[in-house]
Amino acid sequence: MPDQAGVVFVVDDDVSVRESLELLIRSAGWQPKTCESAQQFLSLSRALTPNCLILDINLPDLNGLDLQKLVSLERTEMPIIFVTGYGDVPMTVRAMKAGAVEFLTKPVSDEVLLTAIEQALERSRVALAMRIEMQGLCDRFASLSRREQEVMALVISGLLNKQVGFELGISEITVKAHRGQVMRKMKARSLPELVNMAGRLGIAGTGGASRI
């Protein structure tokens, strides 16, 4: 079943193509947003729901491959489907290596295009979920006090509470209190889970066991 919240952007300078794609997309239950140029597309607000881009190669300003570069950097949750009347093998390879979902040559069947859109929206849905999850993780880490962050760094490096206390010049009881706050604020149910979170955040444990 199509994702009712899915937004499908179309960038093509041929008005007849835009109109036919708009009808097809809408009939499938998605929300179409059509543009005649790359600049017009770039002026649009970023979609907050699963989305994808149907893109032509030949455009009046930026060509499709150049726009793909920008999208891959700035809108990582937006997969691209190329639908073009002109394309060769090197161009196809370049587009696919850069992450395109499909490279289709006009005329393309409705069934093939709708399948590609479903795949693209599913990829977008996963990317958005990961981004939201990562933002939540960053927010939780930012909620830790400086001391709690120091304790977390030492704990994930494998130090015992007593060793952490020695490193920071605080009592073991105080370490336990900070450690409990870290686990609560980070919503970590176990030390391995906390270590995994730290890895995703790019936080390395602060080794200090050699001083014990």
User: What is the identity of the amino acid at 39?
Assistant: Q
Same-domain pairing of 108 and 149: no
Residue 2 lies in a domain: no
Same-domain pairing of 32 and 126: yes
Domain that residue 152 falls in: 143-211
d(CA 204, CA 14): 52
Structure confidence by residue, pLDDT tens digits, 12-59: 999 999 999 999 999 999 999 999 999 999 999 888 899 999 999 988
**CB 127 within 8 Å of CB 163:** no
Q: Write down the pLDDT at residue 205.
A: 66
Same-domain pairing of 95 and 120: yes
Tell whether the model's pLDDT for residue 209 goes beyond 50. no
Q: What is the CATH number of the domain that holds 156?
A: 1.10.10.10
Residue 94 lies in a domain: yes
Beta strands in the chain (DSSP E): 7-11, 31-35, 51-55, 80-84, 102-105
Count of the separate structural domains present in the chain: 2
Same-domain pairing of 71 and 155: no
- Mean pLDDT to the nearest integer, 130-155: 96
Residue 138 lies in a domain: no
Same-domain pairing of 156 and 59: no
Q: Write down the pLDDT at residue 85.
A: 81
**CB 175 within 8 Å of CB 163:** no
Residue 23 lies in a domain: yes
Same-domain pairing of 124 and 154: no
Is 0.95 topped by the overall pTM?
Answer: no
Of 133, 168, 188, the position where a domain reaches its end is: 133
Structure confidence by residue, pLDDT tens digits, 173-202: 999 999 999 999 999 999 999 999 999 999
